[in-house]
Every structure is written in C-alpha cells, then in structure tokens.
Amino acid sequence: MRVAVVTFPGSNCDYDCYKALQLFPELEPVFVWHRERELGPVDALVLPGGFAHGDYLRAGAIARFSPVMSAVDAFARSGGLVVGICNGFQVLCESGLLPGALLRNDTLRFRSHDVHIRVETVETPFTSAYSEGQVLRMPIAHGEGSYYADPNTLAELEGEGRVVFRYVTSAGEALPEANPNGSAHGIAGILNRDRNVIGMMPHPERAVEEILGSTDGRGLFESLASVLRGAVA
Amino acid sequence: MTTYHLEIRVRPRPGLLDPEGTAVHHALDSLGFPGLSEVRIGKIIDIAVDAESESEAVDLVEAMCRKLLANPITEDFTIVHRTDPALAGGAS
C-alpha cells in the first residue's frame, strides 16, 4: 500500500514520516512534492511537520494553496485516509478539511519536549491499535499549537467522539498543567466528521523506535497499516 | 487603471486569547506606564493594486482577505485607504 508523504518547501519531518512508515513492510512510502497536481495511485496521505512556506502569514496559510492541495482535498473528500502531523495539522485546518485553528502557544514559547496524550477514541482508522484511555508519550515541537474552535464546534467534536488525543499528565489526568500550549479542552488531535482525516500536534513519527526514547507512536502507523490491509483483503 | 494603496489591518477577534498582546501588556505594566487596560497585537499588510475604481480595488482586496490574508475563524480585518503619500511609500 502506497502512502504519500506530501512535502512542502519548509517541511522538515518528511523523512521521519517516511522512515516511520517504512517500519511496516506493507506500507510503501512515496514523497509527493507540493507542486504536483496529482497524487498518483496512493492509499493514504501524510502531511508532515515543518514550517511550510516559512509559516509566513499564518502557519499553513500559504501551503493550503499549494498545487497539490486540490488533489489532497479531493482525496480526503472521497474518503481517503489523511494524517496531518504538527504543521500538517495546521495546513488541514487552514484548508477547511478540519475545523478550528491553531494559535500561538499561550506560553509564547516554542515548546519542544515530550508530552503525554490520552487516546480518547479507538473508533478511528488511526488509533485502532491502541486501547481507549491509553496514555502515550511522544514529543511536541511547535510554537503555534493552541487548538481553538468556537464553542459549538468544540461541543460537536466532543459529542461526536472526534477528539482523538488529549494532553494529560503521566497518570492520564487532563489537568491544566498537562496542557503545553493552551489548547481548548486540552485537545491534541481531532478527526473530521467522516473520521478519515486526523490532525494532531504531537509527533508519533518521532516515537517509533527505542532509540528515539519512545515507541508509543507506532500504534498510529500500525492502525493505518492494518486498516489498509483490511481494505485490500 | 489607477494604482490604489490600501492598508489591511488584521486583528485577533475580540475575546480570543492573544498571548502576544498579554505579554506586551505585562511588559508595559512593568515599565510603569499607567492606565493600561488592554493590549492586542495584530498585523498590517500594505497592498498596491491596479483597478478601474476605488471600489473595485477595495472589492479585490476584500476577496484577498477572505481567501488568504485573514483567517475568519480567528481574525477580523479592516481595509484602510492610504491617502498620505508618505504612508503610501511614495509609489504613486
């Protein structure tokens, strides 16, 4: 199964995503440059982290109009699986594929350290390998990760089980001190309404091997692999 | 065709957390400036655009704001005419 890693000028987690996907023999990562108008035969997409187009204007604002984005939009709207990590999440919000926006961290600091997040739902193609309530440890690295949406959207996300990951303490409690950036409801990752597009600020691709300090991110790619395997079988 | 110089002011929407404004507010407080009740930080975008009329220029810039320059979820924008040639960068 081919998984495209969509790369923009300024993406810097593209190779990490490529490597993480390579850990699963059934997944064949391919790079797709942002100027491409077609994705080719792919089964899923990853929008990696970085600073696409320098994050000028707003993070993701310019990337959202890259030539490749109409193909990404069509792929997502036809039910294709799309993972947006960090800058990829920002691009998905700017493009309207995910609701809300990511604002400057409330601490005004670029936060680069491990966090704990809790798996809020396993009813997704991206978290089926985890168990509900499982606490994962993986890094964040962002300056604009404070998730914002209006109260109605937040209520909808919560009510429809579309909050996938929430910042928690190592004991799994959603306390304000566990929230690294001021995200509404401690939200670290969300789904679109059709549950085929996920956006998250933490970096699962940086937590896939012991040498990286955590393997808790593997489950995301494992879930993706198993869903794609099922789709073919 | 005339070149119109327009200034776009983009601000965080009222009520939205503006940590940058808050940090500057605290800095001004600690410098001892009295009477400060709010600091909000936005950005200014200067645009020179050729159009048949001023209203056409404004329509065009408004479309730019809606499509790219401001995020309607988090930001408000206003378009200001720059008639002062010094402000207009002497381009006209």
| pLDDT tens digits for range B37-86 | 999 999 999 999 999 999 999 999 999 999 999 999 999 999 998 765 55
d(CA B83, CA B6): 9
How far from A180 is each of A108, A111, A112, B65, CA to CA, in Å?
A: 11, 7, 10, 31
Q: Is A107 near chain B, with CB under 8 Å?
A: yes
Does the pLDDT of residue A233 top 80, yes or no? no
Quote the ipTM score: 0.84
| Cβ–Cβ pairs < 8 A, chains A and B | 33
Contacts of B20 in chain A (CB under 8 A): 104, 108
**Among partner residues B16, B23, B71, which is closest to A108 by beta-carbon distance?**
B23
Residues 25-64 of B with CB under 8 A from A: none
Does the pLDDT of residue A172 top 70, yes or no? yes
How far from A204 is each of A35, A47, A121, A196, CA to CA, in Å?
A: 26, 13, 16, 17
What per-residue confidence (pLDDT) applies to B91? 43
Q: pLDDT digits over A47-101, tens only?
A: 999 999 999 999 999 999 999 999 999 999 999 999 999 999 999 999 999 999 9
**Among partner residues A65, A105, A146, which is closest to B68 by beta-carbon distance?**
A65
What per-residue confidence (pLDDT) applies to A231? 72
What per-residue confidence (pLDDT) applies to B15? 87
> Which of residues A149 and A233 earns the better pLDDT score?
A149
Backbone φ and ψ of B15, nearest 5°: 90, -20
Taking phi first (over 0 means left), then psi (-120 to 50 degrees means alpha), and beta for anything else, what does residue A55 get? left
Q: Determine which helix (DSSP H) or strand (DSSP E) holds B56, and give its type and residue range.
A: helix B54-64
What per-residue confidence (pLDDT) applies to B81? 84
Structural domains of chain A, ranges and CATH numbers in brackets? 2-232 (3.40.50.880)
Q: Tell me the percentage of chain A whose pLDDT exceeds 90.
A: 97
Domain coordinates of chain B in residue numbers?
Answer: 2-81
**Domain topology for B2-81:** Mth169; Chain: A , (3.30.1280)
d(CA B29, CA A230): 60
